[in-house]
Each structure stands twice: as structure tokens, then as C-alpha cells.
């Protein structure tokens, strides 16, 4: 990820992909132009890198020139009116290929057609390295397109954000939801994740997703998902990854305008942790930290048996099932400490003490994130 001025951008198109697209465009132009000597016209500033790479790959004689977009001075308008300047060469009867870095709305293209209308060129074609089909509002034909991209702001490979980023050899895309705070509240069964999440979600205005709660809600409502999950939960075993991951994804999608999430009881396996990273990535976001409540096993068993007297949870009522849940945690889930520690995102917190003391310890850690 990179930061330009106030915004963050993530890697989007690699140098290799760009290189392949440019080569393919060159091949297409070569086969269309045949034995004519074309004039390649780059549109400054953004196309300088594309034009440079394009003409280096062009195997036959060609001419290269540039025109530039310039704002009209003295125009009192809120609209940014721009005109192309710098076309001094006589292009009568020439084969002209416009080389554009990116075509989105097509406004520049309209301007290109306006100035070329009076030039008596033999043939005018348009080549653009990047194209945003969703944003394109015009009917002009695009003869050569390198890579179609979604309607999101990009920088690099000649393209800038307020002057910065043109020198980057690959293309980056604007991260749109960069202000989400997401953390995994971690710890063995009975560590107090649910209790603490209820305080933390208020303090930080986050959406709390407890996979255990979602499963229990489905069991109560006798859904197909609930019935499936029940068979595992009753034994203190983990519900299969596919089922759990799909469910988690759906819960996140339901809250698309969230400031961020507290994930409680998820992830519990490596596959779930990877799926969560991918999901956050698709939202232009990330897991900021795993905040773990550390509690001894015997304290856990005692707490869960105590909770079982009032919670109505069958998996809290039986010491054998409780011990199986703790065993599942150490066999399948505890390894996730390493997963997040490797990314420097693991924060351990002592989970023994009064509820408010533990909340204070947690907020002290989260405030530093």
C-alpha cells in the first residue's frame, strides 16, 4: 500500500500485466497499419510512459509527437474546461494513432475528435492503455484497448493524483473504505469475548459479529444452517469452514456501511483467517489487530460451568463438552496467534479480573491501534 498526499492506494496492475497489454496493442496496430508510417500522438501528461514503452516495442518506422490538455485561462466557470494544444505538425494524408493513457468519461476523446476534424488525416484511430467502460459516456470507437478497469481512481504509470504518482512503474487503485477499524477478539471459550465485545462495540461504534451467536440464532429459528451447525456445536466441535465462512461473509455484507467490525469467535482456523483477510481486502480494508484475552484453562472451565447454570446453552452445561471446546481451541484455533503475530498484529491482554478492569485493559490496547 502507498500513500500520496492524504489518500491510500493499493497495488492494482503489475508491470508485467502492463507490459503484456502494451505488447498486444503494438501487435494489433502493426497488423492494421501494414506498410504505412504512422504518426503516434500521445496526450500529455499522463501518456508519456505508455507512449515511451509503446514506441520502444514498435518494430517499424514511425513518428512520435505529443499534444497537451490545457485549461482555458480566464474562463469563469465551475466546470474545468480544457482544450488540447500543441498540434503543429501537418498530418494531411497520414495514418494517425492517438495514444491515451486512460479513457473514462470520454471528454478528452471528444476534444481529440474536435481538433482532428479539420486535419485531413488518412485514418484516425484511438488506442488507450486503460479504459473504464462503466464511466464511458460517448459513442466514439476505441480501436485498441489495453486493459478494461472498474470505475475507480488509479495512479501510477504516468497517471497522477495531484501531481504525485506518475513515476510509479505499476498501477495503484484508490482505497475507498480505508477508515474501517476491524479487530479480532480472540481467546478460548469462556475468556469473556462476548461480554467485552458488548462494551467495545459501543465505545468504538463498531458492528459486533459473533459466529456462535449467529449459529445459535439459526438453531433457535430452525433454519437449515442452524440444524447443520447444531450437530457440531452439541459435541463442542467446530462447524466446517465452508459453512462458517459463507455465513460470516453474509453477515459482513449485511453491514456494508459499518465503521468496522469486532469479530468474535471468528476466525477459528487458518482457512478462516485467510478467508477473512481476503474479505477485508475486497472491502479495501484489513484486520488491524487480534486482541486476545488470556485466561487459564481451569478458570475457563469454572466460568463456563457457572455460565451454563443461566445461559441455557447446552454446550456450557456439560464439563466434557466444555473440555472438548477448549481442546478444539488448542488444536485448531490457538495457532492463529502465530498467524497474526507474523503480521505484527497480535496483542495479548490479561483476561482475569473484574469485567471493567478487563475492558480498561482492552481499550488501552485498542486506542493505540
For binding to ligand AMP (CB under 6 A), which residues are involved? 189, 211-212, 215, 232-233, 236-239, 244, 265-266, 268, 272, 315, 325
Residue 2 or 334 with smaller CB distance to ligand AMP: 334
Min dist. Cβ of residue 265 to ligand AMP (A): 3
Residues in a beta bridge with 292: 186, 348
83-to-40, 72, 80, 111, 127 alpha-carbon distances in Å: 19, 7, 10, 7, 19
In the complex with ligand AMP, the residue whose CB is nearer, 17 or 294, is 294
- Distance in Å, CB of 238 to ligand AMP, minimum: 4
Least distance (Å) between residue 325 CB and ligand AMP: 5
Q: Which residue is nearest to ligand AMP (CB)?
A: 212
Residue indicated by cell numbers 475492558: 359
Considering the complex, what minimum distance in angstroms separates the CB of residue 318 from ligand AMP?
Answer: 12
Phi, psi values for residue 181, rounded to 5°:
-115, 120
Q: How far out from the chain centre does Cα 216 lie?
A: 31
Is 47 or 211 the residue whose CB approaches ligand AMP more closely?
A: 211
Q: Which residue number, 106 or 189, has a Cβ lying nearer to ligand AMP? A: 189
Q: Are 196 and 263 in contact (CB under 8 A)?
A: no
- Report CA-CA distances (Å) from 203 to 16, 298, 338: 45, 31, 28
Residue among 106 and 212 whose Cβ is closer to ligand AMP: 212
> Considering the complex, what minimum distance in angstroms separates the CB of residue 310 from ligand AMP?
15
Which residues, other chains included, contact 317 with Cβ-Cβ below 8 Å and sequence gap of 6+? Answer: 308
Q: Is 102 helix (H, G, I), strand (E, B) or coil?
A: strand
The widest CA-to-CA distance across the chain, in whole angstroms, is 91
Amino acid at each position: 500500500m502507498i500513500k500520496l498526499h492524504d489518500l491510500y492506494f493499493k497495488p492494482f496492475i503489475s508491470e508485467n500485466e502492463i507490459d503484456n497489454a502494451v505488447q498486444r496493442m503494438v501487435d494489433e496496430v502493426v497488423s492494421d497499419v501494414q506498410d504505412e508510417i504512422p504518426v503516434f500522438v500521445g496526450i500529455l501528461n499522463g501518456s508519456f510512459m505508455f507512449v515511451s514503452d509503446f514506441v520502444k516495442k514498435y518494430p517499424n518506422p514511425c513518428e512520435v509527437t505529443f499534444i497537451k490538455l490545457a485549461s482555458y485561462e480566464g474562463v469563469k466557470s465551475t466546470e474545468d474546461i480544457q482544450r488540447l494544444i500543441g498540434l503543429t505538425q501537418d498530418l494531411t494524408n497520414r495514418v494517425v494513432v492517438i495514444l491515451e493513457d486512460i479513457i473514462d468519461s470520454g471528454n478528452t476523446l471528444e476534444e481529440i475528435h474536435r481538433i482532428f476534424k479539420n486535419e485531413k488525416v488518412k485514418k484516425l484511430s484511438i488506442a488507450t492503455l486503460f479504459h473504464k467502460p462503466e464511466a464511458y459516456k460517448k459513442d466514439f470507437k476505441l480501436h485498441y484497448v489495453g486493459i478494461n478497469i472498474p470505475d475507480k481512481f488509479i495512479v501510477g504509470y504516468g497517471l497522477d493524483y495531484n501531481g504525485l504518482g506518475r513515476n510509479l512503474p505499476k498501477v495503484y487503485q484508490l482505497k475507498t473504505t480505508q477508515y474501517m477499524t476491524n479487530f479480532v477478539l480472540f481467546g478460548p471459550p469462556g475468556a469473556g469475548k462476548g461480554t467485552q465485545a458488548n462494551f467495545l462495540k459501543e465505545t468504538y461504534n463498531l458492528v459486533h459479529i459473533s459466529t456462535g451467536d449467529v449459529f445459535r440464532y439459526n438453531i433457535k429459528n430452525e433454519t437449515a444452517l442452524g440444524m447443520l451447525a447444531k450437530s457440531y456445536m452439541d459435541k463442542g466441535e467446530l462447524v466446517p469452514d465452508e459453512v462458517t465462512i459463507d455465513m460470516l461473509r453474509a453477515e459482513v455484507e449485511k453491514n456494508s456501511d459499518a465503521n468496522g467490525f469486532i469479530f468474535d469467535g471468528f476466525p477459528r482456523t487458518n482457512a478462516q483467517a485467510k478467508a477473512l483477510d481476503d474479505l477485508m481486502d475486497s472491502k479495501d480494508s484489513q484486520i488491524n489487530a487480534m486482541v486476545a484475552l488470556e485466561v487459564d484453562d481451569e478458570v475457563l472451565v469454572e466460568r463456563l460451568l457457572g455460565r451454563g447454570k443461566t445461559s441455557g446453552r447446552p454446550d456450557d452445561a456439560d464439563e466434557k463438552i466444555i473440555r472438548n471446546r477448549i481442546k478444539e481451541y488448542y488444536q485448531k484455533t490457538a495457532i492463529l496467534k502465530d498467524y497474526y503475530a507474523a503480521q505484527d498484529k497480535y496483542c495479548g491482554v490479561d483476561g482475569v479480573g473484574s469485567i471493567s478492569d478487563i475492558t480498561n485493559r482492552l481499550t488501552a490496547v485498542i486506542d493505540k491501534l
